[in-house]
Structure 1
Amino acid sequence: MNDITRRDAGLPESAESNQRGDSLLPPVDIFEEGNALHILADMPGVTRESLHIEVDSNVLSLEGDVALEMPETLTAIYAEVRAQRYARRFTLSHEIDSDAIEARIDNGVVHVTLPKKATHRRRRIEIQAA
């Protein structure tokens, strides 16, 4: 599981494998922009209907299925492309407002926006003259 924190955002838990169990670990990029973090996950073949994103306590889960349909009239002689499942989980820091998380998918790239709580946003303090 990855920790989403300002200090080590984007560092993978382990670099040993791109596959965990029966699921593929989608590659991700994590960016910080102003008052939010952004996760971009590459999940080719996943559609809006087959994508499932949820937050449980402080764990964000991204899961998506790729279903390949072969016409019944065809017989596979050799097949490397197969149905697969992508799954990735992140532990969110206390700075993230989990009620305001938004997600979208475009051409197999999932973009999750993780807004920071107002209490953890950077703000300029107005200085009063005495």
Structure 2
Amino acid sequence: MNDVAQRDEGASVPTSREQRAEALLPPVDIFEQGNALHVIADMPGVTHESLSIEVDNNVLSLEGEVRIEMPEGLAAIYAEVRAQRFVRRFTLSHEIDTDAIQARIENGVVHLVLPKKETHRTRRIEVQPA
């Protein structure tokens, strides 16, 4: 893996009984294209309102939550679908311009663009004839 996204910090495990949602580790793909990395995370059911993306001290955190409401008047006999928290953390190298990160979500798929700083971008050097 490219050292720009050095280490996956994984999911944090909820410890409080009040946190009824179980933390899941969403699958993530990381691609490099030109002068940027593209991070694609699958977070089904997460909306832009329930998604939080932060960078703190070069740690990129993606957190989302899906809340399942029990229909009024119904009692569960068997239930597999439940509220879920999605958490993923990556330590970024200093090559990434954290101020220029862009994010969008569509159908539960989060797409981040992590541009490299100007000093770390590939540039072509023109060769002059003698």
Q: TM-score range by the shorter chain?
A: 0.7 to 0.9
Question: Which has the larger displacement, 64-73 or 43-52?
Answer: 64-73
Match of 2:73 in 1: 73
What is the aligned partner in structure 2 of residue 100 from structure 1?
100
State the match for 2:3 in structure 1: 5
SS in 2 for 1:112: strand
Q: CA deviation at 1:126?
A: 1.7
Cα deviations across residues 49-106 of structure 1 (Å, max 9, x unaligned)?
0000000010000000000112111111110110010000000011100000000000
AA in 1 matched with 2:99: D
What residue ranges of structure 2 are gaps of 5+ in the alignment?
A: 15-22
Give the aligned partner of residue 61 of structure 1. 61
Residues 9-88 of structure 1: pairs in structure 2 closer than 5 A: 20-22=12-14, 23-88=23-88
Identity %: 71
2:127 alignment partner AA: I
Relative contact order (C-alpha < 8 Å, sep 6+): which is higher?
2
Q: 2:18 — aligned with what?
A: none
* Poorly superposed stretches of 4+, deviation over 4 Å: 9-14
- Across the aligned residues of Structure 1 and Structure 2, the Cα RMSD in angstroms comes to 2.1
C-alpha distance in structure 2 between counterparts of 1:45 and 1:63, whole Å:
12
Say if 1:4 and 1:47 are closer, same or farther in 2 by CA, change over 3 A: farther
TM-score by length of 2: 0.85
**2:124 match:** 124
Q: Which runs of 5+ in 1 are unaligned?
A: none
- Secondary structure of the residue aligned to 1:119 is helix
2-side partners of 1:11 and 1:59: how far apart?
9
Q: CA deviation at 1:13?
A: 6.5
CA contact (8 A) 1:4 1:93 kept: no
